Structure 1
Amino acid sequence: MLSFLHIQNLALINQLELNFKPGLTVLTGETGAGKSILLDGLGLVLGERADSNLVRHGKTKATVTAEFDLTQAPDQQAWLQQHDLEDEHQAQNCILQRSVAADGRSKAYINGRPTTLAKLKELGQQLIVVHGQHQHQALMSQDTQRDLLDRFGQHQPLTDQVKSAYKTWQQLTQQLQQLRDAQQDAQAKLELLAFKQQEFAKIKPLAGEFDQLAEEQRTLAHANDIKTAGLQAFEHLDGDTSAASLISKALHEIERAVSYSPELAQLQQRLEGLLIELQELAGELYHYSDKIELDPYRLEEVDTRLGQLHALAKKYHLEPNDLAQYFETLNNELASLARHDEHSAELEASIKQAHIKLLQASQSLTLARKQTAQTLNQTISAAMQSLGMAHGRFEVAVESQSLSAQGQDRINFLVQTNPGQPAQALNKIASGGELSRISLAIQVACAQVAQTATLIFDEVDVGIGGAVAEVVGQKMRQLGHQRQVFAVTHLGQVASYGNQHFKVAKENTGDETITQVVPLTQQARVSEIARMIGGIDITEQTLGLADELLNKAQSF
């Protein structure tokens, strides 16, 4: 429920603070007084597009703040928690704020936290629904008619199921088409891949093979040098005139004097360790050199293999080390192409199952729509008759059409305004007044099942008058028992049924024009309703009629 609205520097509004109550709130005033500005401000804070022209002349920005009581709105409380935007201190309150700068930039806040315009609009649509005076124009659309029927019947679980099933069916169908398109070029691609694969199969490159062969080639090509260097190093380390023999002589000299010096004994141990390590190293060098073989045949094999790898890599613009991975890719692609027929059969089976699920979901939705249509027919027909169309009859035609994400139904709203005439589509009705009343009947019927706590009717009673206008007021007041309702109206009969009444008026103060919105007392309401029903000259008789009208309405 909207409990508070603050507007600053918006068009003709300088500063405005309004507190609202449950029930039916009416807003009245002369044409051009600024009622639309009030709704524009509310639209801003609900996430509508910002226009810098709305900023009051001479001001840097306009600001709108709206506070909502979410005591009876658990879904909206859950939404705030889900998006981490709840008020930690007052979980049952929600404050929306929007500012628009003179340069067109705008900022949005939910409970004091910056947010995106998309989130502000998503939450706003859950808090308030606006029914405009031109709503009947949208009612001409069969899409709008279908949405109204589904909203009235609370079909969202079924419509979501149909949309999901349709999306799955479409995706699978597209995959099959893409596969079939690919199969048209598959033969040429298969021949090219097979030719490449045959070339690679002859060579059969292995992972890491090139680096290993390159290392082996270096060793084989310089085997003689390696063997000679190793044996000569062995001689230097452990031959007759080697380092080992010199260390042995040094040890012999130390052994003669070691008994005279403990410190010399430590050096003797180090020399002995050095001699052992030197002899071990010499042995390793000997064994390594001994196993080196001069193998020109193996060298020729390695050179040939490396040449094959180099040539294959050059032909396909690859690094030699990447040949094995490319060979694996070729094999996988060939295997994938070979599975095209098998994959096509699998997709066709999946598409068949998806289509069956889509049909089942669509048929369930069709059945629900037909059942809801019967209830909606009775509800709107009764509303039409109470709105002065004594023989009015409303009918929802549910006809079959091709499957889509919305099901397999074409929804058409038909009405009969006079006995003996066939029911016709809404766009065939010539009378604007009749169309306005039918539109209002539909809106009120659908509003009764709306999940939003606050509804705004913006001059939807245009073209209505007399006793019918009184019925409109009664219906809105009744609706106010279930929802918070706002009605912008020019009809005194409707305004008299408000639980709360605000007057919108312009004031000229010097060089400025300011729009003011003030709550009316009982006596002020009598004067305002008298103005609405009596025009310029308000007589005692008009005031008495207004007082009588107000008293009657308030006792309803």
Structure 2
Amino acid sequence: MLRGLEIRNIVLIERLDLAFRDGLNVLTGETGAGKSILLDALGFALGRRGRHAMIRTGAAEGSVTAIFELDDGHPAQALLAELGLEALPGELILRRVQAAGGPARGFVNDRRTTAEALARIGSALVEVHGQHDERGLLNPRAHRAMLDAYGGLGPRVAEAGSLWAAAQAAEAALAAARETLARAAEDADYLRHSVEELEALAPRAGEDDALDAERRRIRSAGRIREELERAAGLIAGQGAEGAMAEALSRLAPLGDDHGDLVAEPVAALDRAMVELGEAQRGLEAALEALTVDPNRLEAVEERLFAIRALARKHGVQADALPDLAADMAARLDAIDHGAEHIAGLEAEAGEARAAFDAAAAALGEARREAAARLDTAIMAELAPLRMEAARFVTEIAPAPPGPEGADRVQFTAATNPGSPPGPVDKVASGGELSRFLLAMKVCLAARAPGLTLIFDEIDRGVGGATANAVGRRLARLAETAQVLVVTHSPQVAALGAHHWHIAKRSDGATTVTGVEALDPAARLDEIARMLAGAEITAEARAAARALLEAAE
């Protein structure tokens, strides 16, 4: 709900602070007083394009601040979260500043944002209706959503959207499988040969490193064996073993006479002979371990070269060959069993599309039923508006299927008996169009809860009982929504819960537009002026008083 509008240095407005209220708010004033400036200023705050010319003459910049009260769960709350903007508890402040020498700047609760973001937020807060209402009720692209909201078809639309997404996903999976199969089929012979080659070689992960290490060991085994044999020769026979044996043989006879002198050396030599024997047995074991099959080196090198050649052929690392083999085998299996897989996907896609088609058909039928109710309701609203001969028809035609079903919806009208219905704004005159829009809005008001509804001279061209009917419908709308109406009709003004008067004043040097809230006496005079013109007569005051009393 729009609570306040603060305008600074915009066109003829120097400084203006307005506090709007619930219910029906009427704004009146003579032609040219500046009523359109207020709406333009509000539109500027809500993201509409600004221009340097809108800045008041002599001012460095102009600004407009719109203050809204937001209930919990208002659609704007979710939009703010989507845009990464935080709303103050129960309040939302939109501000736009236009500098004389630069671009306009937008703010949400004093946080900088773009005009596009302001426009998106504004569309969830305010809806303007007038004779050139191209973005609202007269926009055919919005008619389907309006009808769905009127008919309470949100769950059906959501179901159709879900089934459409499932059908699209199934179609995409089928198309991808067909494309994959087609690409794979082109390489079937190559894949078959490669799989056979890889399966024959059967490379294992890490085998390349293992074979390379084994090859190095085999190649170094000959040199190591020579060293071991030389070491064994130095120990055995005439080497260290023979020398120690001879030393023992020389010391042994001395033990009888000088045992105390040679006992320790003899014992040490005995221990050395034992250790030397252990060393000899260890060297013999090492020599036995280094015994290599003369054909093993050739076999290792042959397999190593085969693995590396196959890796180079396929442009992968040797360790990647097992994964490559599995991938190629899977692709070959897909080719061999592709027809079965495609048939399964075709069945799934057919079932998904059939489910969507059924939901879309049911949604279309529900839309036609809702359209019949809407047409009847709007026709009932047109009769009191002096449009008994007019017809309102909600046309539903087939449309390319999509997430919202397979229907195209357009609101049409015929103003003369026998004339075919056409787009409302094409077949209705200015006054008729205003009344059509009002009747439509009365019936469709529930489609967007939480909106502030603004009607810009929607009562133009009507008077008397018809104007009274227009006013009463606006008052009915105001029972569930905040309504602002710019009007020249005293019958409409008399039905307002709150009344503002817009006037232009000049001191000869400057001209400014001002707005003031009217108390009961001033309001009586304003409605009398609207009835009588410049000179307010007693008869005009009496007529104004009668209108106000009838409105109570």
TM-score of the two chains, using structure 1 as the length reference: 0.79
Q: Any idea what SS the aligned residue of 1:200 has?
A: helix
Aligned to 1:67: 67
Q: 1:219, CA displacement in angstroms?
A: 0.9
**Does the 8 A contact of 2:96 with 2:104 survive in 1?**
no
Aligned to 2:167: 169
User: Which amino acid is 1:457 matched to?
Assistant: F
- Indicate which of 335, 338, 349 corresponds to 1:337: 335
**Does the 8 A contact of 1:63 with 1:99 survive in 2?**
yes
Matched, 1:23 2:32: no
Matched, 1:152 2:153: no
- 1:60-459 aligned at under 5 Å gives the runs 62-71=62-71, 73-76=72-75, 79=78, 91-99=89-97, 103-104=102-103, 106-110=105-109, 121-135=119-133, 142-229=140-227, 287-288=285-286, 290-399=288-397, 403-418=401-416, 421=418, 424-426=421-423, 429=427, 431-459=429-457
Q: 1:476, CA displacement in angstroms?
A: 0.8
User: Which amino acid is 1:206 matched to?
Assistant: R
**Does the 8 A contact of 2:529 with 2:536 survive in 1?**
no
Q: Which protein shows a greater Rg?
A: 2
User: Structure 1, residues 203-243: CA drift from partner, whole Å, max 9, x if none?
Assistant: 3322111111111111111211233446668999999879x
Q: Distance in 1 between matches of 2:279 and 2:118?
A: 80
User: Structure 1, residues 101-160: CA drift from partner, whole Å, max 9, x if none?
Assistant: 5532534324x5566766655554333322233127865654433232122223222222
Aligned to 2:270: none
RMSD between aligned residues: 4.0
Aligned to 2:42: 42
Q: 1:475, CA displacement in angstroms?
A: 1.2
- 1:427-506 aligned at under 5 Å gives the runs 429=427, 431-506=429-504
- Indicate which of 503, 523, 526 corresponds to 1:525: 523
Q: Any idea what SS the aligned residue of 2:387 has?
A: coil
Q: 1:484, CA displacement in angstroms?
A: 1.1
| Residues 377, 40 of structure 1: alpha-carbon distance in 2 compared, 3 angstrom cutoff | same
**Does the 8 A contact of 2:50 with 2:98 survive in 1?**
yes
Aligned to 1:257: none
Q: Distance in 2 between matches of 1:470 and 1:297?
A: 113
Question: Which piece of structure 1 moves more, 383-392 or 178-187?
Answer: 178-187
Q: Any idea what SS the aligned residue of 1:169 has?
A: helix
User: Structure 1, residues 414-446: CA drift from partner, whole Å, max 9, x if none?
Assistant: 545455x36623456354432332222112221
| Residues 132, 298 of structure 1: alpha-carbon distance in 2 compared, 3 angstrom cutoff | farther
User: Which amino acid is 1:319 matched to?
Assistant: Q
Q: Any idea what SS the aligned residue of 1:296 has?
A: coil
Q: 1:479, CA displacement in angstroms?
A: 1.7
**Does the 8 A contact of 1:227 with 1:290 survive in 2?**
no
| Residues 374, 430 of structure 1: alpha-carbon distance in 2 compared, 3 angstrom cutoff | closer
User: Structure 1, residues 490-540: CA drift from partner, whole Å, max 9, x if none?
Assistant: 3333222221122334445786554433222333334443444444x3242
Q: Distance in 1 between matches of 2:402 and 2:76?
A: 34
- Indicate which of 544, 547, 553 corresponds to 2:544: 547
Q: Any idea what SS the aligned residue of 1:408 has?
A: strand
User: Which amino acid is 1:544 matched to?
Assistant: R
Q: Distance in 2 between matches of 1:150 and 1:316?
A: 59
Q: Distance in 2 between matches of 1:17 and 1:59?
A: 18
In the alignment, structure 2 segments of 5+ residues that lack a partner are: 245-274
User: Structure 1, residues 392-427: CA drift from partner, whole Å, max 9, x if none?
Assistant: 3433344555644332334343545455x3662345
Q: Any idea what SS the aligned residue of 1:134 has?
A: coil
**Does the 8 A contact of 1:526 with 1:543 survive in 2?**
no
| Residues 185, 453 of structure 1: alpha-carbon distance in 2 compared, 3 angstrom cutoff | closer
| Residues 418, 311 of structure 1: alpha-carbon distance in 2 compared, 3 angstrom cutoff | closer
Question: Which piece of structure 1 moves more, 439-448 or 296-305?
Answer: 439-448
**Does the 8 A contact of 2:430 with 2:460 survive in 1?**
no
Q: Any idea what SS the aligned residue of 1:490 has?
A: coil
User: Which amino acid is 2:14 matched to?
Assistant: N
- % of aligned pairs identical? 35
Q: 1:350, CA displacement in angstroms?
A: 1.6
Q: 1:288, CA displacement in angstroms?
A: 4.8
Q: 1:382, CA displacement in angstroms?
A: 1.4
Q: Distance in 2 between matches of 1:21 and 1:145?
A: 30
